[in-house]
Structure 1
């Protein structure tokens, strides 16, 4: 996506939307997961850019964890958790990577991967198909910004796993849910040194190699270099 035109990325967004609608309306589907593994370092077997869509009868574990957290916050605070969180991050500014009229890219304070990024809409929107035409173009734009920025960090095609998290398609209402995207890149200190989850991290719990604030600073500077050369 870092090298694709905005129009071509928007075309991909349109296909994602079509598949969310087609699969999400099936009675035997509870969740639709769009994701992309980029580069052999992330286990991608195909050298060309590609993504996958998995549709499952049950809600996946990671999504269920997010769902329970958002439901609890919505019940207790009467607000959408990720919308409230975004307002805090925008006010602080130190973990923001990039933004446009409809979306913000940031390094979440709980980030485990070295240059982990989350994309959030500025307004409450549960699913991709709930976005306006303008927002879908802005979504394509922020995807291009994030991927190009990551490539600029070590001046190499950046490896990552990226996934879209819409609300579940379980025939329930989800006023608590905010659509978001996760980018989890493994590169740590250079184009060839990656972070591995081993030892205590594998058996005990993940440890941060870089703070979210310093990661966001590196990404902002990389983004500035990218803009200066385009």
Structure 2
């Protein structure tokens, strides 16, 4: 999950610098997923924001802009677990905790494995 350090409700609430920062964060997260098993890592990504009406975000009390990643590769590049239905936002069936998965991703380099020398 990607959460802002400043509360936003929509991409429309972000200035150009914040949008560039978000793009950089998404690039870094995607590189770490690819680096996990050194393969092009498939995933579904969901962007949660306030609805947009007439070019402006409609104010939604308590809503915070955020992004979810739903990766199907859990154990290796060849063992896939595609989450569907209730699993995507409810109780997913995993063999590791979200904290363990986050620790694994944090330990990986942000530079894509294909661009590293050696």
Would the TM-score normalized by the shorter structure come out above 0.5? yes
Query: 1 or 2, which has the higher helix percentage?
Result: 1
For residues 173 and 138 of structure 1, what CA distance do their matches in structure 2 show? 23
CA contact (8 A) 1:126 1:175 kept: no
Contact kept, 8 Å, 2:43 with 2:69, in 1: the verdict is yes
In structure 2, C-alpha distance between the alignment counterparts of 1:168 and 1:150, rounded to whole Å: 29
Structure in which a larger fraction of residues adopt strand:
1
> TM-score, structure 1 length as denominator?
0.42
Instruction: State the shift of 1:224 in Å.
Output: 5.7
Please tell me whether residue 126 in structure 1 is matched to residue 12 in structure 2. Answer: no
Report the counterpart of residue 154 of structure 1 in structure 2: 37
SS of 1:190's equivalent in the other structure is: coil
**Cα distance, 1:197–1:145 mapped onto 2, change above 3 Å:** closer
Could you say which residue in structure 1 is the equivalent of 2:108?
222
CA distance in 2 between partners of 1:182 and 1:132 (Å): 21
Aligned residues, how many? 108
| Alignment root-mean-square deviation, CA | 2.7
Segments of structure 1 that go 5 or more residues without pairing to the other structure are: 1-117
2:49 to 142, 166, 170: 166
User: CA–CA distance in 2 between the matches of 1:134 and 1:211?
Assistant: 33
Q: Cα gap change, 1:172/1:208 in structure 2, threshold over 3 Å: closer, same or farther? A: same
**Larger RCO: Structure 1 or Structure 2 (Cα < 8 Å, ≥ 6 residues apart)?**
2
Taking structure 2 as the reference length, the TM-score comes to 0.77
Structure 1 residues 172 and 142, CA gap change in structure 2 (3 angstroms): closer
State the alpha-carbon separation in 2 of the partners of residues 154 and 194 from structure 1: 12
CA-to-aligned-CA distance 1:5-27 (integer Å, 9 cap, x gap): xxxxxxxxxxxxxxxxxxxxxxx
Structure 2, unaligned stretches of length 5 or more? none
| 1:28 corresponding residue in structure 2 | none
